[in-house]
Copies of this chain bind each other. A is one copy, B any other.
Amino acid sequence: MNIDMINAAAQRLQGHVRRTPLLSSPFLDEIAGRKVFVKPECLQHTGSFKFRGGWSAVSALAPEVRAKGVIAFSSGNHAQGVALAAREHGVPAVIIMPSDAPRMKIDNTRALGAEVVLYDRAGEDRDAIGARLSAERGLTLIKPFDEPQVIAGQGTTGLEIAEDAAALGIKNADVLVCCGGGGLTSGIALALEARAPTLRVRPAEPEGFDDVARSLASGQIERNARTSGSLCDAIITPQPGNITFPILQRLCGPGLVVSEDEALHAMSLAFARLKIVAEPGGAVALAAALFLADQIKGEAVIAIVSGGNVDGDIFAQALQRFPA
Most buried by B among A277, A320, A323: A277
Report the Cα distance A42→B273, complex, angstroms. Answer: 10
Contacts A312-B324, A324-B312 known; A275 to B319 CB distance under 8 Å? no
Q: State the Cβ distance, A93 to closest chain B Cβ, in Å.
A: 15
A312 touches B308 (CB 8 A): no
Contact with B along A246-278 (1 / 0, CB 8 A): 000000000000000000000010011011110
Report the Cα distance A42→B112, complex, angstroms. Answer: 27
A275 touches B104 (CB 8 A): no
**What residues on B are CB-neighbors of A104 within 8 Å?**
272, 324
Q: Which of A21-29, A50-58, A170-178 contacts B (4 or more CB under 8 A)?
A: A21-29
**What residues on B are CB-neighbors of A18 within 8 Å?**
21, 23
Contact with B along A167-186 (1 / 0, CB 8 A): 00000000000000000000
A315 within 8 A of B: yes
Contacts A21-B18, A21-B21 known; A43 to B275 CB distance under 8 Å? yes
A217 within 8 A of B: no
User: Given B26, B272, B274, B276, which contacts A312 in the complex, CB threshold below 8 Å?
Assistant: B272
**What residues on B are CB-neighbors of A319 within 8 Å?**
312-313, 315-316
Task: Count the copies.
Answer: 2
Q: Please give the number of chain A residues whose Cβ is less than 8 angstroms from any Cβ of chain B in the complex.
A: 31
Contacts A43-B23, A274-B43 known; A320 to B324 CB distance under 8 Å? no
Report the Cα distance A18→B308, complex, angstroms. Answer: 21
User: Given B47, B111, B312, B324, which contacts A275 in the complex, CB threshold below 8 Å?
Assistant: B47
User: Given B108, B271, B312, which contacts A320 in the complex, CB threshold below 8 Å?
Assistant: B312
**What residues on B are CB-neighbors of A313 within 8 Å?**
319-320
Contact with B along A65-88 (1 / 0, CB 8 A): 000000000000000000010000
**What residues on B are CB-neighbors of A320 within 8 Å?**
312-313, 316
Report the Cα distance A73→B272, complex, angstroms. Answer: 22
Report the Cα distance A47→B316, complex, angstroms. Answer: 20
Report the Cα distance A319→B42, complex, angstroms. Answer: 18
A-B contact pairs, 26 of them (CB 8 A): A18-B21, A18-B23, A21-B43, A23-B43, A26-B84, A27-B111, A40-B275, A43-B274, A43-B275, A43-B276, A47-B275, A268-B312, A271-B277, A271-B312, A271-B315, A275-B277, A275-B308, A276-B276, A276-B277, A312-B319, A312-B320, A312-B324, A315-B319, A316-B316, A316-B319, A316-B320
20 additional contacts (CB under 8 A) given A23-B43, A276-B276, A276-B277? A18-B21, A18-B23, A21-B43, A26-B84, A26-B112, A43-B275, A47-B275, A104-B324, A268-B312, A271-B312, A275-B277, A275-B308, A277-B277, A312-B319, A312-B320, A312-B323, A312-B324, A313-B320, A315-B319, A316-B316
